Amino acid sequence: MHRFLKTYGVITTIGMIVVLIQGALVTQTGSGEACGAEWPLCYGQLIPENPTIQTLIEYTHRLVSGLLGFMVIIHAIWSWRSIGHMKETKFFALLAVLFIVFQGLLGAAAVVWGQSNAVMALHFGFSLVSFTSILLLTILAFEDGKFDSINIPSLSREMKQYIYFVLVYIYIVVYTGAYVKHSESGSACSGWPLCNGQIIPSSSMDGKVAIQFGHRIAAGLLFLAILILFVQVMRKYRHKRILVISSAISLVFVTFQVISGAMVIFTGFTINATIFHAFMVSLLFGAVSYTALLAYRSKTAIKRG
């Protein structure tokens, strides 16, 4: 029934991943100011003449982001009209549009007026929320007409709250990672998992070392949080197939996220390693967001005492 909406949703979701990767590439290569302090023009031109590599990176990111902005809006409206009877649709449609607009405005403001590292760290997070909203809208299109009790696991109130906590905590970890990049703190800790040869840096625990070390601690705790989630699901809800699958996928993605973080350090912050790191955290956030959607749908289990 929604074949074209599904196809369009998949294309838009992939496009949003491209935008996230391009954003990471812009930050990694320091191309954010490669079009001058102008937006949407690049050095006063609609199409820059004789651009440098950095200018091409920034200009291409602007073009793709603008195109995907329109695609996201179209997808949101299309989903609202076609599967608006599913109660989550309108929420995710509004979320996708709001955050793609926030992401665009923040990017433009950073170019024209400049922004602090703390504010710029929000840029990736805004794009991530928009991407996840589009992903979930696409999943809803695939679920429509096949919606049954399989997608509504019965969870305890404590389990639901823990899943919500993990989702919020991932966003915090993502923010700290973006802040590490924008504050240029990535190389403050040499080696991994040790920081400058120490489990806990005994000196210079301020500034960039503190930012980098804090992100490592936060990322390590995230791995433990998702591991606990998976163990709890296997202990108490292993008969809920969709919940087992989503929590298992989350564990796989967070494992690759940790590995990719180590790769970034060991390879000397190469572009490929950094992009892979951003790619994995995007998939991880999407997987846990779907798990949170399942928790939202859940009918709280009645405890028998």
Q: What is the pLDDT of residues 79-130, one digit of tens each?
A: 999 999 888 999 999 999 999 998 888 877 777 766 667 777 788 888 899 9
Q: What is the pLDDT of residues 179-231, one digit of tens each?
A: 888 787 777 787 788 787 777 776 555 678 888 888 999 999 999 999 999 99
Tokens 């929000």 locate to 122
pLDDT for res 206: 63
Interhelix angle 241-266/207-236, nearest 10 degrees: 160
Asked whether 65 and 22 are in contact (CB, 8 A), the reply is yes
Q: 149-187 burial, b for 16+ CB within 10 Å, e for fewer? A: eeeebebbeebbebbeebbebbeebbbbbbbbbbbebbe
**Rounded to an integer, what distance in angstroms lies between the CA atom of residue 176 and that of residue 291?**
23
Q: What is the dihedral of CA 154, 158, 161, 163, to 10 degrees?
A: -70
More confident residue, 97 or 32: 97
pLDDT for res 25: 87
pLDDT for res 151: 63
- Three-state DSSP class for residue 45: strand
Q: What is the pLDDT of residues 225-259, one digit of tens each?
A: 999 999 999 999 888 888 999 999 999 999 999 99
**Rounded to an integer, what distance in angstroms lies between the CA atom of residue 107 and that of residue 88?**
28
Percentage above 70 pLDDT, the chain: 92
**What positions carry a catalytic annotation?**
58
* Lookup: tokens for 48: 């820059």
More confident residue, 30 or 65: 65
pLDDT for res 302: 42
* Lookup: tokens for 70: 């329109």
Which are the contacts of 249, defined by CB distance < 8 A and separation ≥ 6?
287
Which are the contacts of 71, defined by CB distance < 8 A and separation ≥ 6?
8, 11, 12, 15
Question: In terms of C-beta distances under 8 Å and separation of at least 24 residues, what long-range contacts does 228-237 make, across chains too?
Answer: 228/162, 229/162, 229/163, 229/166, 229/291, 232/159, 232/162, 236/156, 236/159, 237/153, 237/155, 237/159
Residue 160 scores a pLDDT above 60? yes
**Rounded to an integer, what distance in angstroms lies between the CA atom of residue 54 and that of residue 43?**
13
pLDDT for res 303: 42
Residue 40 scores a pLDDT above 60? yes
In degrees, rounded to 5, the angle at the alpha carbon of residue 152 between the alpha carbons of residues 84 and 286 is: 70
Percentage above 90 pLDDT, the chain: 45
Q: What is the dihedral of CA 188, 174, 263, 59, to 10 degrees?
A: -90
Asked whether 6 and 138 are in contact (CB, 8 A), the reply is yes
